[in-house]
Amino acid sequence: MAEGRIDRTMSDTGRLSIHNSMYSSNSRTSFEGVSVEVSNIMTMLGYGEEIRRRRVQKYRELDMRWNERMDLFTIITAGSKAEGLTSWVESDYDMLYVPKSTLCVEAGVDLHSIPDYMEVYRMDTDVYPGHCRMLLERTYPQSLLKSALCDDEKGNTLLSSALVLDTLCSALVLDMLSKMKFERVPLERAGPSLPLSVGQDLNFDIVFAIRCQCPGIMQRWTERPRHWPPPDVVQKVVSLGSLVTPVGFKGSANKNLEWRMCFNMGETELVSNLNGPQAKLYVILKMIVKEVLKPTNKEITSYVLKNIIFWQAESNSPAMFQESNLIHMLHDALGTLRTVISSTQLPYYMIPERNLMAACGLKDEQQRKWVADITNMMAEGPKVMLRLSKIRNAIICHQEPLLWFSRRKIELEMLMLEYNRIMPRDYEHRQYDNAYIIEQEIRRHMNELLREVHMRMLMEGGYVNDPMDIWRRVLM
């Protein structure tokens, strides 16, 4: 299951070359060589095209298995897991719970075109851009949302985002807990998400969302002049539709009644249509924010970085996004990030009128420090890569151990994803069927791989003996 390009690794001479190039003059030839070698390292670390596509496929299959058991909701994996850009325990697992019989619509949508069994809300967008209020148009006695309805004293019945979070979403977490056979702990709520810790290594963010029809907003996005994405991808993004989630604008006095428009499925499709260098650039930016800027209160999020990548792709010729141009692409993206931080302005890619940095909580002193840090990184050129622990360790590591470990890491992750794909089934009445046999074989093969890694670590002077710790280190 090794990466398709995994054998295109650098020789020891090449590894010495990349290290020396980072301290050499900022020539274009030097930048191109380092860019290619950094791209190869990113592939070996698990961010190449083949492993990315496989992750996406496995998470889609996992959603299908979950949804076979769901009556009232559709589950959608979102975020970096759906995008294929993180390994199994590298980041939180974002899950959307979307009710099947509820819909909100933009003004102008004909309600007669919507099936009678659907509960319908009309979007009132006379609030901060990218947000709305939900006015009840049509309901039914068995509505899941009845307890979250309220009166605005103007004759309108509104769906309260705060009440949905306090009532329905708590019930969703309990439902999620009941379906898991592991130790699990609900965590403190964060925005529209309800975090959940499962075992020692997995963190879930569960978000309630309602499907939304907003043809006017989508048309404005569709008609924008662009280099990217191509027309067929634009149409697919439109077909995937949008959602609203129960969170209002932070600075609004009526935020408890407001909902935020989002385009999770469309954005996953957009990330899927980034080429290899663009996807690796996105991961490198996330590493820089986590290891260099180190925000403490989500002043800069992965979502901000994703939007920077989208704008960069839309605004520049596709010829710019080549492996040999990775360092230049990073310099350009860091310049945009510096401007975003200094101005606290970043238009949302899908709805540019919404500023993603509004009410971000960025303090003046922190703002000045981050601008200075990014300026220094931009001046460093390729040397900025040495600030990032994964890339730095890969540069220092000898070729053979890195390649050996990379192959086993990818194989173990693919086995883990396959194992979890067959997991959502009724274990109370399970029989020794084919799925059970496959599950046992996967467990046996994973244990073999972990023993191999353990023995290699012992041979090279490592002292880790806890199998779970070895598993965690491999899949990070």
Of 97, 98, 77, nearest in space to 86 by CA: 77
The total of other beta-carbon atoms located within 10 Å of residue 161's CB is 26
In contact, 98 and 76? CB cutoff 8 Å: yes
What does the pLDDT look like over 18-76, one tens digit per residue? 555 555 545 566 789 999 999 999 998 889 998 899 899 989 988 988 888 888 889 99
Q: How far is CA 432 from CA 49, 417, 437, 443, 447, in A?
A: 36, 21, 7, 15, 21
**Assigned token pair, 201:** 């290594």
What integer pLDDT is reported at residue 186 of this predicted model?
Answer: 55
Q: Per DSSP, what are the bridge partners of residue 78?
A: 94
Q: Which residues contact 414 (CB under 8 A, 6 or more apart)?
A: 1, 51, 54, 58
What integer pLDDT is reported at residue 395 of this predicted model?
Answer: 84
Of 273, 258, 266, nearest in space to 242 by CA: 266
pLDDT along the chain (476 residues), means of 10: 40 49 58 92 91 91 86 92 88 90 93 91 96 94 86 89 82 62 57 73 85 96 97 97 94 92 97 97 97 93 97 96 96 98 98 95 95 97 93 81 79 79 54 70 81 74 64 63
Angle at CA of residue 45, ends 17 and 286, nearest 5°: 100
What integer pLDDT is reported at residue 6 of this predicted model?
Answer: 40
* Type of residue found at 320: M
Q: Which residues contact 375 (CB under 8 A, 6 or more apart)?
A: 338
Alpha helices in 422-475 (DSSP H): 434-459, 467-475
What integer pLDDT is reported at residue 205 of this predicted model?
Answer: 86
Give pTM, 2 decimals. 0.87
**Assigned token pair, 183:** 């130790």
**Assigned token pair, 311:** 């704008």
Angle at CA of residue 302, ends 21 and 201, nearest 5°: 95
What integer pLDDT is reported at residue 172 of this predicted model?
Answer: 65
Q: Helix (H, G, I), strand (E, B), or coil: what is residue 263?
A: coil
What domains can you pick out in the chain, each with its CATH number? 12-48+268-387 (1.10.1410.40), 92-259 (3.30.460), 393-475 (no CATH)
Q: Per DSSP, what are the bridge partners of residue 261?
A: 244
What integer pLDDT is reported at residue 183 of this predicted model?
Answer: 54
